[in-house]
Amino acid sequence: MKLQDFVLLLEQVHGALMQVIGMMKAAVYKQSKEQPPADETEQLNNLIKNWRPDDNSSTPIFLPENEMKKYKGKTIKKRTDGRYWTRFYRDGKQHSVYGRTINECINNLKKALKKPSQTVDATAITLGEWLQQWLELYKVGKIRPSTLKTIRYYLRSTENLQDKPMDQISAIEWQQFFNTLSEQYPRKCTAVYTILNDAYKRALRNKLVKENPLENVEVKHIKRRPSRALTLEEEKRFVAACREDPHGALYLCCLYQGLRIGEAVALDAEDIDFDARTLTISKSVDRDGTIGAPKTETSKRTMPLFARTAEILPHKMEGRLFEYSKGTYQNFMNKLCKKLQITGISVHSLRHTFATRCAEAGIAPKVVQKWLGHSTVNMTLDVYTHVNTEFEQSEVQKFDTYFDTYLS
């Protein structure tokens, strides 16, 4: 056989082998329901068409890239930057997949779907670990340092449970914990429950726990003892004693201006404008003695400097008006009230007394709300305004007089 004929024979064999290989490739793609790469699509379609010359169908076996729009119910779209894009949802979150071609996008989608769920394993995080994260994420920088310190103090009572995975502390175990705590510290029990309930709610939203066990825990909520206002008779005796007491100016300032004790202790000369007759509240002293922002945004306010307050403050002064801590002034107040035989009164009661006197004077609640720095008028009316017997009797007289006049 001549060499030329042998080469021709090899070419024919090679062509037949390539056709067989091509058909085998096509069969594999069809069986796996996968799309061949873009550079093979047209080649395989032509190969199959040539292999089946009696087939009149013009529909290619493999669709061109620009005609394919769906893969397992997921829409594949072409972006303005030329890439292809689709998305899928897992663990309640949307995930996006990209590719330079539709086939590449599909392959990337397959890989993404095969990856295990990224949901945090609830059994992997302990109560202590989450409480630390919860404080850093939702409390630090958002609440006052003194409040943060109080929360950390209350959380110490959970130290025996902090090494346990959160999802392994049952509602029954929590119920036993709170029952024991309530026997010893009923008020502390209420505070700890409130703090932990918030932490669990946040954990539930972040899918760290499957449920909030505290929803099935019963805790007796101890209501705070309501503060009361001084009666008119008590106020007269109290004011007289304050005028003779070395610390009386602070108490009278709270009484006449309706200030919180932290706001009063933080006052300095720059906060008082005798010419404009105003008093500005821009800071407050915390439990630890540090000076910071007032309790709330609405607590920052400028209010009238009332005549009685102006009388008790020296007009020539500089620096802080009151030198002692909140605790020290409260102790002095307790001794003064004991001496006067006035019970159930604290420095904060003077703020309640101010609100009550405003109501008795007929001052509009919205104005009193502004003076006190409350966020809502309901707080002013429901919590800080008290009805004394003398005031109630005078209102009864008004009612009786009105009807006597109306019906006569």
Q: Supply the CATH number for residue 381's domain.
A: 1.10.443.10
Is the same domain home to 378 and 275? yes
Long-range contacts from 362-371, C-beta under 8 angstroms, 24+ separation: 368/258, 370/301, 370/303, 371/257, 371/258, 371/301, 371/303, 371/304
Question: By residue range, what is the domain housing residue 83?
Answer: 68-115
Indicate which CATH number applies to the domain containing 193: 1.10.150.130
Same structural domain, 169 and 90: no
Residues 82 and 34 in one domain: no
pLDDT in tens, the chain (408 residues): 666 666 566 666 666 676 677 666 666 666 665 666 666 666 666 655 554 444 344 434 444 444 456 777 778 887 767 788 888 877 656 778 888 888 888 888 888 887 765 554 545 789 999 999 999 999 988 888 888 889 999 999 999 999 999 989 999 999 999 999 999 998 899 999 999 999 999 999 999 999 999 999 999 877 767 778 999 999 999 999 999 999 999 999 999 999 999 999 999 999 999 999 999 999 998 877 788 888 788 889 999 999 999 999 887 778 899 988 999 999 999 999 999 999 999 999 999 999 999 888 888 989 999 999 988 888 888 777 666 666 656 655 655 565 565 455
Kindly state whether residue 337 falls inside one of the protein's structural domains. Answer: yes
- 2, part of any domain: no
Q: Number of folded domains in the chain?
A: 4
- Do 88 and 143 belong to one domain? no
The residue from 188, 216, 244 where one domain ends is 216
Does residue 222 lie within any of the structural domains?
A: no
List the structure tokens of 244: 């003779």
Residues 313 and 238 in one domain: yes
**Same domain for 157 and 19?**
no
Tell whether 156 and 287 lie within a shared domain.
no
Q: Is residue 405 part of a domain?
A: no
Residues 178 and 310 in one domain: no
In a domain, 407, yes or no: no
Query: Does one domain contain both 33 and 77?
Result: no
Residue 94 lies in a domain: yes
Q: Is residue 226 part of a domain?
A: no
* Residues 190 and 280 reside in one and the same domain: no
Of the residues 83, 115, 147, the one at which a domain ends: 115
CA gap 262, 285 in Å, rounded: 5
Q: For residues 400 and 304, what is the distance between their CA atoms, to the nearest angstrom? A: 35
Q: How many CA atoms lie less than 13 Å away from 292 in the CB half-sphere?
A: 15
What is this structure's pTM? 0.57
Let me know if residue 3 belongs to a domain: no
Residues 346, 363 within the same domain = yes
Domain-ending residue, one of 115, 148, 182: 115
Is residue 218 within 8 A of residue 131, CB to CB? The reply is: no
128 and 108 fall within a common domain? no
